Amino acid sequence: MELNVVGGGLAGLTAAIAGAEGGATVTLYESHATLGGRARSTEPPYVANDGPHVLYSDGAPYVWLERRGLVPRSKALPLRAALGTRWRYRERIGGPPTGVLRAASHRRLRAPNDVDFGTWGTERLGADSARAVANMMGVVLFHAEPERLSAAFVWDRFQRVTTPGWPAPRYLIGGWGAWVEHLSARAREMGVRIETRSRVDALPQGPTVVATSLNAARTLLGDDTLRWESGHTLMVDLGLTRRHGDPFLVFDSDECGFLERYTVVDPTLAPEGEDLVQAQLPVRPGEGRAKTNARLEVLLDTALPEWRERLTWRRDQVARGRTGALDLPGTTWRDRPAIDRGEGVYLAGDQVAAPGLLGEVAVTSAVRAAELATARHSRAATDSR
C-alpha cells in the first residue's frame, strides 16, 4: 500500500514512521527545504527552538516514542534548576503565590468543561487564586485571557504541570532540531521517501495523511470548517552574558507569560559563558506589537537584572495559531476537527481531535491517522480477496 504524508513536522514524521511500521510504502512531502516545521531550531552558536521547549514524559505519546527508540537524547530538570523556579506575582519575583499552593493541594478537584475557568475558578478557589493559577498556565496556554477557556482545559493542565511526580518535562539536548534529525533518520531507515521543497497544492492520489497546520489543511482540503482556537503570543529568544542568580524559570502569575533559561539544562545551546533565555507574553486582543513588547520587557526587567547590558543576541517572533489547540467552554478535544475525513484522507496535527498537551496532540493524532489509513487498506485488500 502507498501512503502519502503532507507535512514534515512532528506529526508528519510520526505519521510516516507509524505508516511504514504498518506496512505502507510512504512518501512524505514537505514544502520547506528543511524538515521539522515548528520543531526546527536555529543554527549554533545560539540554538533556539521555534517555540517548543519540553517533551512531557508522563504521557502516552512519550511511551509510544520511547518504545521505538524515538526519544532523542534528553535530560530531566536537575533539582538545582528546579529550585531556581520563580513566579512573577504582583510585579515581584519570588516563590509560588499562596493561592497557587492552595490550588495545587486540591488534587482530587475536577473542573467542568461547560463553564469558563474564570467563573469556576473564582467560585472554587477565590478570584485571586484563580487568576494566579490561570496566568501561571501561560507556560502551556499562550493566551492573553486564559480565564475565558474551558475550566476543565485549564485545570487539567494546571494539575499536570504541578503533579507530585514532577519533573516529567524532558529537555532535548541540542534543541528540538536534534529530535527532528533523529526522527527523519529513522523514517529514512524504514524506507520513507522524503521530498523536501515539495509543496502540495492538490491532494495526491491514494490514502493521504494531511499533517500540516490546521490553517494549511483548511486551504489544501478546501474545507472552511477546519478551524479551532489557538494561542497568540510574542516570543523573544535572548543570548545573555551569564549572571549568577538568574532564575531558571519564571511562571508569570501576573500576565500569563513565562521565561526559561535553557542553558541551565543544556549549556551547548549558547556560547561559553552565556545563557540562552526564551521569554513569551501573549498578545492582548487588538494590541500592537510595540505594546506587547513593552510589557514583555517589563517581565524581563523584573526577572533578569541588567539583561539589556548583558544582551549578546536577540530574536523576536510572533506565534499566532501555532501554539496548539485551546478548548473553549462547552468543548473538549473530541469536538475538534476529526482525524478521519473520509475517502482515505486523514488529519494529523496539534489542533485536531486527539488528547494531550501541545505537541502530544500532534504525535497521538499522527499515530492514529496512520493506523486508520493502513487498517482501511488491509480491510479493503481482504474484502477484494
Ligand X SMILES: Cc1cc2nc3c(=O)[nH]c(=O)nc-3n(C[C@H](O)[C@H](O)[C@H](O)COP(=O)(O)OP(=O)(O)OC[C@H]3O[C@@H](n4cnc5c(N)ncnc54)[C@H](O)[C@@H]3O)c2cc1C
- Which residues 196-215 are close enough to bind ligand X by CB under 6 A? 199-200, 211-213
Asked if 8 interacts with ligand X (CB under 6 A), we say: yes
State the binding string over 213-232 for ligand X (x if CB under 6 A, else -): x--x---x------------
Asked if the peptide bond before residue 45 counts as cis, ω within 30 degrees of 0, the response is yes
Identify the H or E element spanning 231. strand 230-241
- Rank residues 120 and 258 by Cβ distance to ligand X and give the closer one: 258
Under rule CB under 6 A, residue 17 binds ligand X: no
Between the CA atoms of 151, 154, 159 and 161, what dihedral angle is there, to the nearest 10 degrees? Answer: 180
Let me know the angle formed at the C-alpha of 234 by 230 and 236, rounded to the nearest 5 degrees: 135
- Which of 1, 2, 21, 32 touches ligand X by CB under 6 A? 32
The position carrying cell 540562552 is: 276
Residue with cell 511511551: 63
CB of 183 to ligand X, least distance (A): 10
Is 257 near ligand X (CB under 6 A)?
Answer: no
> Min. distance of Cβ 281 from ligand X in angstroms?
11
Question: Measured between alpha carbons, how far is 127 from 338 in angstroms, rounded to an integer?
Answer: 36
Stretch that binds ligand X, among 26-34, 101-109, 184-192, 292-300 (CB under 6 A): 26-34
**Would you say 251 and 201 are in contact if contact means Cβ atoms under 8 Å apart?**
no
What gap in Å lies between CA 334 and CA 348, rounded to an integer? 14
Choose the binding region for ligand X from 5-13, 92-100, 113-121, 291-299 (rule: CB under 6 A): 5-13
Q: Looking at 209, 339, 358, 370, which residue binds ligand X (CB under 6 A)?
A: 358
Closest separation in Å from C-beta 378 to ligand X: 26
Backbone dihedral region of 271: left (phi > 0), alpha (psi from -120 to 50 degrees) or beta? Answer: beta
- Identify the three-state secondary structure at position 226: coil
- Shortest Cβ 286–ligand X spacing (Å): 21
Q: Which of 235, 250, 264, 345 binds ligand X (CB under 6 A)?
A: 235
Backbone angles phi, psi at 289, to 5 degrees: -65, -35
Min separation Cβ 146 and ligand X, Å? 15
The binder of ligand X chosen from 152, 226, 349, 374 (CB under 6 A) = 349
Q: Give the interface size with ligand X as a residue count (CB under 6 A).
A: 39
Q: Which of residues 284-323 bind ligand X (CB under 6 A)?
A: 319, 322-323
d(CA 187, CA 56): 22
Q: How far is the CB of 14 from ligand X (least distance, A)?
A: 8
Map residues 54-73 to x or -, x wherever contact with ligand X holds by CB under 6 A: xx------------------
CA–CA separation, 312 and 270 (whole Å): 10
User: What 3 state SS string does 120-187 have?
Assistant: HHHHHHCHHHHHHHHHHCHHHHCCCCHHHCEHHHHHHHHHHHCCCCCCCEEEECCCHHHHHHHHHHHH
3-state secondary structure of 78: coil
Q: Which of 18, 19, 41, 52 binds ligand X (CB under 6 A)?
A: 52
Contact (CB, 8 A) for 39 and 49:
yes
**Which 3 state secondary structure label does DSSP give 274?**
strand
194 interacts with ligand X by CB under 6 A: no
CB nearer ligand X, residue 12 or residue 22: 12
Residues 6+ apart with CB under 8 A from 8: 28, 29, 30, 32, 35, 36, 37, 184, 194, 196, 211
Is position 7 an interface residue for ligand X (rule: CB under 6 A)? yes
Q: Select the span of 91-99, 259-267, 332-340, 357-365 touching ligand X (CB under 6 A).
A: 357-365
Scanning 23-31, 69-77, 87-95, 126-134 for contacts with ligand X by CB under 6 A, the matching segment is 23-31
Selected range binding ligand X among 146-154, 248-256, 354-362, 376-384, rule: CB under 6 A: 354-362
- State which of positions 103-162 bind ligand X (CB under 6 A): 142
Closest separation between CB of residue 120 and ligand X, Å? 25
Residues that bind ligand X (CB under 6 A): 6-12, 29-32, 37-39, 51-55, 142, 199-200, 211-213, 216, 220, 235, 280, 319, 322-324, 349-350, 358-360, 362
